[in-house]
Chain A
Amino acid sequence: MLSCKDASVIVSDSLDRKLSLHERLSLKLHLMMCNACQRMAGQMQILHAVSLYYRTATEEDSHLKQVTLSKEASERILERLQSAADAGADDDQV
């Protein structure tokens, strides 16, 4: 018989890999009898779903659109790139 703690581990695993038949059955049995773990499993599903929302939202989502490189960071990176490019150009001449 699974404990609630075991059940929480198996629910997490179920989001990453295929469960064995034994795991599947014992989890199902436990969830049938345990309200607290039903809520836990629901929460884990929501965490998984909210992640899917982020994954599909990469490009178009307004929430992420606002995320941009700061001016300072851009300038710093550009400077770094230019000095690297200059050094590289010298090498290329040879």
Chain B
Amino acid sequence: MATDFENVVRPEPGRWLQEHGDTLFRYAMQRLRDAAHAEDVVQDTLLAALQSHSGYSGRASEKTWLIGILRHKIVDFIRIQVRESTVDDISALSDAALEHSDLFDGRGHWIRPPQDWGDPDRTLHNHEFIAAFEACLERLKPALAQVFALRELAGHSNDDICKELGISATNCGVMLYRARMGLRRCLDVRWPGGNSGETR
């Protein structure tokens, strides 16, 4: 009503989608790694933005505002996934290494020792390595991949992830351990490495 004369930001969901849709989608893809899921959270974000546009002060840039909403939507999404998966294998979580216990013998020594991946700098700039990394990330259990993505790809702190997902610091550490071991193990097979001569 009278607010029409004030400096109120009118909702323009069509323009938001056009101008920021790809940015939001990339941001979501980087963390969720699934196009259908990413599309869903982008839609949820814009719907939420539409409902709460009066909460947008105009102080932050529009993009920053939308990404702020998106972050919450992503965490909500992951929280549900993690909760579902931890219900499934809550007992497995109690033993940090259960999933990878076949890598070690009874005394905790390597049965299958890790391979040499070659010079780190060269490895990191190798497209084949990046492709193998992505393939391995996709093979990880979704909940693990997403916790890993939040921690490592999105750079959230451990504490934030625990809080956001409502899991204990121990479980959070266990999930990250299992994600890293899963990736490491998968890459040991898929990444022929720094042409290591001696492999076992």
Contacts and interface: CB of A to CB of B under 8 A. Distances in A.
Interaction A to B: yes
Contacts of B43: 76-77, 80-81
B25 A68 contact: yes
Interface string B18-43: 00011101110110000100010011
B39 A77 contact: yes
B69 interface: no
Given A3-B107, A47-B183, A88-B50, A42 B120 contact: yes
Interface size, A (range): 35 or more
Interface in A1-38: 3-6, 8-9, 12-13, 15-17, 35-37
B59 interface: no
Contacts of B55: none
Interface class of chain A by DSSP: helix
A64 B109 contact: no
A19 B46 CA distance: 41
Contacts of A70: 35, 39
Nearest to B116: A39
Contact of A36 (B13, B14, B114, B181): B114
B39 A64 contact: no
Count chain B CB atoms within 10 A of each CB in A3, A5, A45 and give the residue with the most. A5
B180 interface: yes
Nearest to B123: A46
Contact of A12 (B21, B120, B177, B188): B177
Interface class of chain B by DSSP: helix
Interface size, B (range): 35 or more
Given A39-B116, A84-B50, A47 B180 contact: yes
Given A50-B130, A54-B30, A69-B42, A12 B176 contact: yes
A78 B155 CA distance: 31
Interface stretch (B70-78, B83-91, B146-154): B146-154
B117 A43 contact: yes
Contacts of B176: 12, 15-16
B180 A12 contact: yes
23 contacts: A3-B107, A3-B108, A4-B108, A5-B109, A6-B108, A9-B96, A12-B176, A36-B114, A40-B184, A42-B117, A45-B120, A47-B133, A47-B184, A48-B152, A51-B152, A51-B153, A54-B30, A63-B130, A67-B22, A67-B29, A69-B39, A81-B13, A88-B51
Given A39-B115, A47-B152, A82-B14, 12 more contacts: A12-B176, A15-B180, A16-B173, A40-B114, A42-B117, A47-B184, A55-B154, A58-B27, A69-B25, A74-B21, A80-B47, A81-B46
The 7 closest A-B CB pairs, nearest first, are A3-B108, A51-B152, A5-B108, A36-B113, A81-B13, A12-B177, A39-B114
